[in-house]
């Protein structure tokens, strides 16, 4: 494998891994803040115990999310130095602003929250978790704005002499339609992920007869969060699909394996292509649905891969402008499929637990334990789809991925770092999973002593 392929694999592995923890952290940060607000308002002990219990799960995830995020920021320079030179004038700004506006807020106030139980007033302590949660939201916005520039570059001019894109409007970069759509797609997905985790943990606890006072609200809040989020994810997904059709028509065509331009296009449920992937042999689908998804009109025209390939060759010169179609097609379907399955399970579960019931059946608790993994898979496939179906571009229409890799870094170096990162991430995954499982098994503290005059520390590392 070339340094390019290895660098792409390394980016894929480290990013997908990082993004397992990001949505859990964003979503559960807000849910924990909500629980603590409930405690603040009602003074009921169960909400305090729930806050502390889910706070522990939140922090175990947060730690891994933070440390794997550092790799993301430095990786651009290490493996993608030519890309960094090309976009640095534009891409660096949201990254630096993300640090100044979001990372400081998250880290400082989270530190205050973890260690401040006996140092801050109840009100300030509550404010700390909300500020940390808002920090995660801001962070998501700026990094999505940076990514949106790669999907749909705006607010720039090309400087031929310096061989780079230069920023002309930070406002345009930060209000990129693609960034806004992605934000309203990614954030509810994060809530969906955290909701599924809360529901899964709650159901497991009830089944194993642990602290029902904490588990019952967790299960219910979790399921409702999943369902509300799913609706928003769907609506913003629809907006995203339409933007994608105008901004990156090839990505939409690849997602649907539409080879030839046509109208009244069905949404494909199953397509089998010939081996070279250039023509579909067999297709079943929902009539006209894709036309509607892509254009808002059942009679809308969806441009096909072959047509687009020809027009791109004319526009950008000879080359291959078609992404890996089966890969795009399946990752798109797995994203929607896993997300929808999570929503379906949650809807049914909400019915099963109506009026305080709880089916003490293995199949029920098993599906509830599977539930948190579904949105994680959906999130991963979503990013895999949106990044891989943009290929061969790293910045759509401006800069190819193959031109972005560091010319001075050998394939052996990239391979070495990739292997070490992967091994380390694997070990951390095992430790993290063990800690999460153990934390759930240990369960919430039964009584929480609060002695204002105590000399001992409530929280110590």
Name the minimum Å distance from CB 1 to another protein: 18
118 binds another protein (CB under 8 A): no
- Is 119 a binder of another protein (CB under 8 A)? yes
Binding status of residue 430 toward another protein by CB under 8 A: no
Q: Quick one: 357 or 455, whose CB is closer to another protein?
A: 455
Residues between 64 and 83 with contacts to another protein, criterion CB under 8 A:
64, 66-68, 70-71, 73-74, 76-79, 81-82
**Least distance from another protein to the Cβ atom of residue 5, Å:** 17
Alpha helix segments (H runs only) across 259-361 = 289-295, 305-316, 325-352
Considering only residues 14 through 33, tell me which ones interact with another protein, judged by CB under 8 A: none
Closer residue to another protein (CB): 84 or 268: 84
Contacts of 302 (CB under 8 A, 6+ apart): 245, 252, 253, 256, 258, 261, 262, 263, 265, 290, 291, 294, 295
Q: Among residues 437, 66, 24, 365, which one has the least CA distance to residue 193?
A: 24
Query: Of the ranges 21-29, 89-97, 182-190, 321-329, which one interacts with another protein (CB under 8 A)?
Result: 89-97
Considering only 26-34, 63-71, 293-301, 389-397, which stretch makes contact with another protein by CB under 8 A?
Answer: 63-71
Q: Are 334 and 378 in contact, with CB atoms under 8 Å apart?
A: yes
Minimum CB–partner distance for residue 93 and another protein (Å):
5
Min. distance of Cβ 78 from another protein in angstroms?
5
309 binds another protein (CB under 8 A): no
Give the residue, chosen from 228, 409, 415, 429, that forms a contact with another protein under the rule CB under 8 A: 409
Query: Is residue 139 a contact residue for another protein (CB under 8 A)?
Result: no
Q: How many other CB atoms are found less than 10 A from the CB of residue 227?
A: 18
The one among 13, 212, 411, 435 contacting another protein by CB under 8 A? 435
Alpha carbons 19 and 30: distance in angstroms, whole number: 17
Q: Is 83 exposed, middle or buried (0-12, 13-18, 19+ CB in 10 A)?
A: buried
- Which residues 155-214 are close enough to bind another protein by CB under 8 A? 163-164, 166-168, 170, 211
DSSP string for residues in 220-287: HHHHHHHHHHHHHHHHHHHHHHHHHHHH-HHHHHHHHT--S-EESPPEEEEEEE-TTSSSEEEEEEET
**Given the structure tokens 């999130």, which residue do they identify?**
379
Considering only 9, 37, 40, 92, the residue that binds another protein (CB under 8 A) is: 92
């Amino acid at each position: 494998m070339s340094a390019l392929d290895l660098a792409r694999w390394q980016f894929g592995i480290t990013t997908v891994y990082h993004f397992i923890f990001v949505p859990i952290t964003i979503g559960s940060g807000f849910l924990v803040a909500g629980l603590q607000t409930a405690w603040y308002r009602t003074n009921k002990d169960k909400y305090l115990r729930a806050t502390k219990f889910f706070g522990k799960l939140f922090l175990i995830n947060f730690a891994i999310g933070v440390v794997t995020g550092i790799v993301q920021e430095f990786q651009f320079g290490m493996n993608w130095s030519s890309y960094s030179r090309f976009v640095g004038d534009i891409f660096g700004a949201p990254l630096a602003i993300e640090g100044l506006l979001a990372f400081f807020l998250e880290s400082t106030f989270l530190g205050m929250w973890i260690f401040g139980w006996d140092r801050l007033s109840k009100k300030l302590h509550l404010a700390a978790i909300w500020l940390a949660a808002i920090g995660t939201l801001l962070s998501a916005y700026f990094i999505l704005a940076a990514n949106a520039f790669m999907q749909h570059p705006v607010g720039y001019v090309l400087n031929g002499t310096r061989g780079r894109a230069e920023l002309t409007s930070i406002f345009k970069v930060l209000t990129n339609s693609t960034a806004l759509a992605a934000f309203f797609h990614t954030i509810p997905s994060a809530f969906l992920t955290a909701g599924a985790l809360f529901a899964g943990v709650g159901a497991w606890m009830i089944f194993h007869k642990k602290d029902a006072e904490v588990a019952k609200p967790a299960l219910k809040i979790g399921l409702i969060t999943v369902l509300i989020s799913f609706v928003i994810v769907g609506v913003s997904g629809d907006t995203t699909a339409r933007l994608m059709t105008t901004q990156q028509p090839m990505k939409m065509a690849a997602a649907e394996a539409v080879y030839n331009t046509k109208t009244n296009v069905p949404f494909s449920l199953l397509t089998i292509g010939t081996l070279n992937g250039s023509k579909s042999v067999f297709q079943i689908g929902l009539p006209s649905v894709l036309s509607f998804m892509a254009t808002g009109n059942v009679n809308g025209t969806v441009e096909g891969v072959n047509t687009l390939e020809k027009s791109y060759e004319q526009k950008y010169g000879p080359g291959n402008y078609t992404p890996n179609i089966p890969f795009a097609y399946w990752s798109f379907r797995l994203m929607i499929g896993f997300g929808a399955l999570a929503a379906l399970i949650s809807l049914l579960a909400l019915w099963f637990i109506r009026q305080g019931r709880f089916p003490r059946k293995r199949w029920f608790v098993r599906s509830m334990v599977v539930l948190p993994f579904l949105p994680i898979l959906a999130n991963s496939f979503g990013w895999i789809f949106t990044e891989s179906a943009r290929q061969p571009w790293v910045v759509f229409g401006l800069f190819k991925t193959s031109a972005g890799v560091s010319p001075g870094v050998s394939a052996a170096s990239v391979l070495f770092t990739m292997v070490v990162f992967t091994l380390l991430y694997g070990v951390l995954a095992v430790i993290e999973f063990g800690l999460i499982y153990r934390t759930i098994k240990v369960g919430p503290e039964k009584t929480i002593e609060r002695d204002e005059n105590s000399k001992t520390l409530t929280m110590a590392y």
